[in-house]
Structure formats: structure tokens, C-alpha cells
Chains A and B, each alone.
Chain A
Amino acid sequence: MAMIAVWLKVEEERVVQALQEASEKLDGIEGEVTLDLSSVRRIDPSAVRAMAEFAGMAEDKSVKVVLRGVNVDVYKVLKLVKLASRFSFVS
């Protein structure tokens, strides 16, 4: 089976929307999805919720979620809400 990997750029103001859009594409993805968070300086509670949901959906569909360019402050938030272990990180 061919691997269909997707790469998505997420802007700070649209984290929730971007994740929603990404989750719509999950069906067509096999293997992994990379979300580029390098322009996200901070996340808010709705972004945290959206990420948790996205992680859940991706897990259901056996899609690996790779987060790219996550800054260390955001990384700490993900760690504190116990979400970090559900993603892979690349710089």
C-alpha cells in the first residue's frame, strides 16, 4: 500500500480551524500527517482541545501525527496536559 503523507502549515490564529480541516483529510491519509506549528507562538485552551481530539481521531485511523517546529513553551503546555506522548516531534 502506498504511503500518503500530508503536510499542513498551521497558523497561530487558526489552530482550531486548521486542525478541523486536517481531520477532514484524515480519511485519505495513510501513514502520517505532519502539522507545521513553527508559526504558532502560543496555544489556548481551544487549541489544546482541538489537538486532543485530532490526536484521538488520528489514532483511530492509525495515522501518525508529526508536529513540526513546536516551540518549547507550546511543548511544555502539551506536556502538562499529557498530550505530548501522543505526537511525534521534528524540528
Chain B
Amino acid sequence: MVTRDVMQQRVQIPLSAESLTEERTAYLERLVRQARTAAAVFTQFTQEDVDRLVKPMVLAGLDQAQHLARLAVEETKLGVMEDKVIKNMVATEFAYNYIKDKRTVGIIREFPERNLVEMAEPIGVIFSITPITNPTSTVLFKCIMAIKTRNAVIFSPHPNAWRCCSEAVKIMYETALKHGAPEGVFACLESHTLQDNAYLMHHKDVGLIDATGGPGAVKAAYSSGKPALGVGPGNTPVYLERTADLNTAVTDIILSKTFDNGTICASEQTAVIDDEIYDLVLKKFAALGAHICNEKEVKLLARTVIDPETGFMQAAAVGQKAIDIARLAGLSVNPGTKLLIAPIQGVGREHPLSVEKLFPVLSVYRAKSVDEALKVCVDVNHAGGLGHTAVIFSRNDDVIRQFGELMNAGRILVNSPGSVGAVGGVYNDLPPTFSFGCGTGGGNSTTDNVNIYHYLNIKRVARRTQAHMWFRVPNQIYFNMNAVANVHQFASRSTIIVTNPSLEQFGHVDLVRRYIPEGTHVHVSVIPDAEPEVKVVMQGVEALNFYKADQIIALGGGSVIDAAKIMKLKYESPEADLEELAAPFLDLRKRVIEYPTEKINRVRLIAISTTSGTGSEVTPFAVLTDKERARKVTLADYSLTPDVAIVDPQFVMSMPKGLTADTGVDCLTHALEAAVSSYASAYTDCNAMQAIRMAFKYLPIAYQHPRDEEARCMMHNAACIAAMAFSNASVGVNHALAHAFGARFGVAHGRANALMLPHVIAYNASVPTKFLPSPYQKGYVAHKKYATIADLLGLGGHTIDEKVKNLVAATEQLLDQLGFPRSIADLGISKEEFERAMPDLTKLAFDDPSWRSNPRMPLISELAELFWKAYQGRGLGNMADAVRQQTA
């Protein structure tokens, strides 16, 4: 509660306390020491202990309400005794009602669904400045809040309200002490100077300054460099809109504006009244005891109550009765006049009465329209009232909302009086207070009604949350020989088969057609034998539109299936921006961009894989080649996952040896990376581990004996099973390296993976230089996972070290069996050329999202080291170094 300072001396609180005598310093030090000890001792109190203290204090305050009100009026010579009694009662009883069941010790609030708990830590010593306008009520209120929150307070009351305030402190202190509060918990400065205030504001043992006072005190509080709760002045506009209940409005405003002679800074200062109700409103005001000033009276009044130099209200008028003010101004008014009403024509220095007036003078403004009324309210709000309070009387929800948006006020009160409304707990559910935060508009740190929570350090105990995990794969996966027959069960009017020329030549398309239900219109869209480009995809979308397709059958390797996934996306949601959808992300669940959910077409995607590697038939990924910018972009979203996957080995019998090896190693890499991924779960582990076993056993056979149906079938299933793992656990640094290297040197994906694989296993199995934050896992386990894999493969070894080494050796052996080059050098790339490419390679690899789930976070230097290892080539000798660092 703030007056535009009534006492000029409060306006300039010096920042330095140098002029204090030694004796005075010793006195202040003693006060602080006592308070600090009390606060420290207070920390041992439980909630029950504290609550036992609060109630008798509240009762004592209620009991002494009238005594204190009398003292206050006698001493300050402002306000209304009866109203001050009410204020003292609100400060105690209403505050008690608000705080009595609230927890302020230990755990104060719990949010089990968020695994969060809030705990209270007291502030310690609070230095509190209290105002002349609400002297005893503010003290009572702050004492009760402080005890409830286990803090000690040193009070510095307004010099002209010192006696009543120190009496209030004494009553509260004695009651608290009697019921067990620590000695020294409250103190009131015995007479004080501005130097005392400055000294205490800067004292290292004072934790918080709670300054309810004039702007000088508030500013000094904030300038002290200490945490402060300074609350500022107001200039409350009240808008009487044409739909308002006028009787309520007029009564409420009179009540509010005359309450304690207008000393509550939230009371109405200028009433902005709609033109059509203006005359009626003034008539009603007059009927209830307001005097409507004429033009001449307005001038006389302004000259009397506003300081012409500063433009602020005169201290002498604060808290005075309307008739006394009228007499001072030389106006003749009826003896029972409660309120002086001054019509004004605008807001600002030329309209002196448009500022804050903490006495029963209300300016009124006649507004021609809602628009004009709102603008004048904005003007009043900005004329010294930012952040404080604004009031509206209206039944029009739209106008109320608009008013709420326009006013910068911590309290926007609807159809209720400003002063008593802002205090809270009487007319609304705001927390009761005698300190109105005015936010940054008023140079304050809060817009709240200052209450117990501002007297606490709230600590948040955040428990580790169980990360949400998932396992998402297509609804339907058909596998083993002749699984393609299942195509028959999917009714369609118009189907497009997307495939490659070579696959058509192999007769694979005819095989699929055989199972498409009769009567379906089938169109075959043949796309080039290359990784998909946007241009190719868009041609496919044209065909889908032309044939009004309701089903796509993607028949091919990863390239064809990925192309079909993007065709489906663009066909269903033509607005989808592929560039934007490929934006980088750290965590799939938190990423910024969203895939379209609105679809203008619906189409079923059946993916029939013809290679045993990518597993694209079950993955949510699609890789696009951007030829113009010589790069690949990966789209990732579960909406891209095909509806139906068909894993039929008869389509892979035709794969040449090289393709079998390349795609097979891709499958093995997917499974090995998913197994150690930081997103791995029991659900992905079972798939990853099984796929690894199958690949180790059947890949060499499928490679050596391409017509071996069992081996082909097992490898085809292994690719799909590995893909189920990495669709949900993602891949790792091997893919980041392979993508970068493959793109830069035009090396097939599987082959690029093969060149990196043994080095990456050794790298991941050794103690990470850097850990990547991962709420999905409880610790670094990659080395143990590799050891488990070695066990599954029956590779022997006793220690984790040995097992990892054996896994690396077995992988190298497998790669040799598959005829892969042993090093990048073997590909004919010179050392110089590779060196030149290194900055690009490491940059590309680091930008690749694949490693985000890798168990080790790769540093750029480590990526370079891995590239160089791959350049030099595999062989146990090379691995020894890395494996040696491995954890036990």
C-alpha cells in the first residue's frame, strides 16, 4: 500500500549508511544478530509448531483491532478509525483464513504426476518497511505471514506512524513469544533515520527487503542489491460501461473511495463513464452523498490537492475527509458530503486531477464510445498506475476481456470495489494482502498480492521421471515364403505399384499382380534404379492423383519403399513441406516441427521388400536424395510407417552377391547399433539380439549360396526384425560415419557401414569421453551389451574385455567372408584426398542425427579418429588400442 510519498523524507533513502555513530551501528548489529538467531532457531520448527503460534497471534490482532486503529488515527491524523478496525480485522482474520490450511514447512505442494515436490526454505531475516496509510494492518499482516513461514522481521515503520506500529509489533511479538516463538523473532526500530534503513537494507544477514511505502523507499529497496518485494503506487481507472449494474457500481465506488478516506492505493482514481449513462451515474452519485464539482470548483480543488510543481497529490490531503478537503479548497458542500467528484476532460499534466489521489476525490470522464473509454483507461493506467489495479463495471464479456487485455495491472477487478476488492478474500478469491505487487510496470518484481509464498524460498525436488518409451511397428507384418499371397485380402479400386525397372524384369511385379483382387485398377509406376529424389516422388504423386489411387504397393529395396512413403505423404497432405519436415531434432518426442494430420486423400501403403537390409517396410524413416545440394535428407515420423509389410524371401532370391553383402551388413549394423543405443529397451533388445544371431549365422550362407531358401528367408526376416529394433531404438555413430563417407565418396550404404563397423564397436565399448544426457538409461552399459552379444554368439571369453574383443574379431571375420574391402585405402582413395575431405566428413557426420542415441557422444576429434581407423583398415592389431581402454 503506497502513498505518493506523504512524507518527503521517505522519498530519498540514502544508499550509504556512513554517517552512523558507532553506538548506533552496534544497536543495529544487535537487532540483526537477534533476528538471525531467531530465524536460525525457527528452522527447527515443524508445521504444527508454526500453526500453534499463528492462531493466538490472529486472535490477539482481532482483540486489539480497535485499540490499534485508534492509535493509528491519532498518530497519523489520516483515515477513518472504523475503517482501520476493519482493515486490522481483514489483516488478521482474512489472512488467517487464507493461510490456515496451507503448508509452509517441509513439503508444501506435491505434483505426483510430474514427480515434483515443492519444499519450503525460510528466508531468514526480513527487513520490512511499512507505510503511514495502513500502518497497523500492514504490521499485523506481515507478522502473521512471517511466523507462518518461520522468518524473523525487523520493522521500520513510517516515522509518523511509529508509535502505533511499534505497538502492533509488540502485541504480535509478545503473543508469539508466549506460545513458543523464538526470542528476537520481531523487532521494531526504536526511532530511526534514513541511515538506519540504508544500513539494514545493505546488511549481509538481511535476506529480503519487504518495502511497502513510498516510491523512494521502494526504489531504495530495489537499489540495495538485495532481493526485495517493493510494491509501487497506483492510479486505478474504473470503467463504467453502459451495460453495468449502475446501483452496484456507484455504491461500490463510493464505498471503496471513502474507505479509510481513500488511503488504499488500489482505490478508484478516475471513473471513465459511457456517454449514455453518464448523467444518470452522476445523479446516483449525488443521491448517495457525492458532491459534483462545477468547472470552477474543479480548478480550486486541483490547486489545493495537487502539487503544481511535482504534479503529485499534496501530502496534507492524504486520508482526509471529503468535507475537510472541500473546506481547504474553499468549496461549499453539504455537511454529509462523502466524496468530491471532479469532471475532467483528459489525462496528463494539463489535467492535474487525473493522477493518484489517496483521499475521497474522484475524477470522472465522459466517454463518447467504448473505444474512447478504453483509451482513456489506458491513459490513466499509464499515468502512474502501471501494474497496480484497474476496475470495470460491465455485463459485456467482450468488453471485460478487452479491458483485461489492455490494462497493465496485477489486479483487474470486475464488478467490485477497487480498494477492498484488491485486498483479496473479501469480494473475490485473490489472496488477502496489504502489499500489491505492480510488476515491472511499477518497477516491482511481482504482480501478485504479496502473501506467504513470497516469504519463502520454494525448493523443487525433481525426481527422475521415467521416460516414456514406445514400440511402434506396422499393424500387419506377413513373412516367410509366399507371404505375398496376403495382398489378396486388401480390397482396392485403384492400386499403384511403385517399383524399379530391374525388379519388373525379374518378374516380381507379375508375381504381385497375381494376388491383387480382381476388379482392381492397377497401374505400375517404374522409378529409376537410384535413391529417390524429390522430382521422382512428385511424378509418383501425379500418378496417384490421376488414378485416384487408394492403395500403393511399394515393391523394391529401401529406395523404392522410401519413395513410396513420401509419395503417400504428399498425396495425402499436399501442403507438407519436405524441407521443413526434415528439420533437425534432438528428441523425436520434443521436436519442433509436426507432421500433417489433415489428409485430403487416404491411401493404404503395402511395402514388399526385395532386399534384406534396410527393413524400410517397417520403419518410420524415409531417405531422400537432394541432388542439387549433394546431400541426403532423412524424414522420420511414425506416420510414414507402411500400413502393411510383406517379408517374402522369393523376392530376394534374385539379389546379386554384392547387394546381398551390402544390405546384409546394413541389417547387422542396424541391430548392433540398436542393441547399444541409449534408447534401447527390452522390447528393442529382443529384436536386436535375435537379428544379430540370425545375421551372423545366415548372412555368409546367403552370400555363398544365393539360392539357399532357408538362409535367404532367415536373412530377410533378420532385416525386418533388426528394423523393428532400430525403428524404436534408433541407430548410432556407425550410421553417422557411413552416411557422411558414403555421400562424399559415392560408396554404397552397406559397404560404408562395413568399413566402420569393427572400429565403432571398439569405440563404443570403451569408456566415453563424453556422456550424452539420456533419461532412457540408467548408466553406461554398451560394453556389457556387446559382451552379452558375444555370449549369444558363443564367442567365448571370460571378461567383458575379452568378449568385446572376440565380438570385434568375429565381425571382422564375417566382413572378410563377405568380401568387403578391409580399409578405405583399399578403395583406392589416396591419403591426401582423404585428408582433404576430413573437415567435411567430420562436419557431416557430426550433423547427422543418427549418433544422438549412440552410447558415447562423439567429439569431432573422435569422429576424425574413427575415419582414420577406417582408412587404415581393420585387423586385430588396429583394435588393440581402443579395446585396451575398455571398462572392466
Contact = CB atoms under 8 A, between A and B. Distances in A.
Contact of B182 (A44, A73, A76, A78): A44
B37 A48 contact: yes
Interface in A43-90: 43-46, 48-49, 73-74, 76-78, 80-81
Contacts of A46: 183
Given A44-B183, A45-B184, A80 B124 contact: yes
Interface string B28-40: 0000001011111
B34 A77 contact: no
B37 A49 contact: yes
A28 to B, nearest CB: 30
Given A44-B183, A45-B183, A46-B183, A80 B44 contact: no
A44 to B, nearest CB: 6
Given A80-B39, A80-B124, A45 B44 contact: no
A45 B34 contact: yes
B183 A77 contact: no
A81 B37 CA distance: 6
B41 interface: yes
B44 A77 contact: yes
Interface in B12-71: 34, 36-41, 43-44
Nearest to A80: B40
Contacts of A76: 40, 43
A78 B43 CA distance: 11
Nearest to B34: A45
Interface residues of B, number: 13
A81 B40 contact: yes
Contacts of B41: 42-45, 48, 77
Interface residues of A, number: 14
Given A80-B36, A81-B36, A81-B37, A45 B43 contact: no
B36 A42 contact: no
A43 to B, nearest CB: 7
Nearest to A71: B44
A9 B124 CA distance: 30
Nearest to B49: A42
Contacts of A44: 41, 182-183
Nearest to A73: B44
A42 B34 contact: no
A45 B37 CA distance: 6
A44 B40 CA distance: 9
Contacts of B44: 42-43, 73-74, 77
24 contacts: A42-B41, A42-B44, A43-B41, A43-B44, A44-B183, A45-B34, A45-B37, A45-B38, A45-B182, A45-B183, A45-B184, A48-B37, A48-B40, A48-B41, A49-B37, A73-B43, A76-B40, A77-B40, A77-B43, A80-B36, A80-B39, A80-B40, A81-B36, A81-B37
Interface of B: 34, 36-41, 43-44, 124, 182-184
Given A45-B41, A76-B40, 13 more contacts: A44-B41, A45-B38, A45-B182, A45-B184, A48-B41, A73-B43, A73-B44, A77-B41, A80-B36, A80-B39, A80-B40, A80-B43, A80-B124
- Closest 4 A/B residue pairs (Cβ): A80-B40, A45-B183, A77-B40, A42-B44
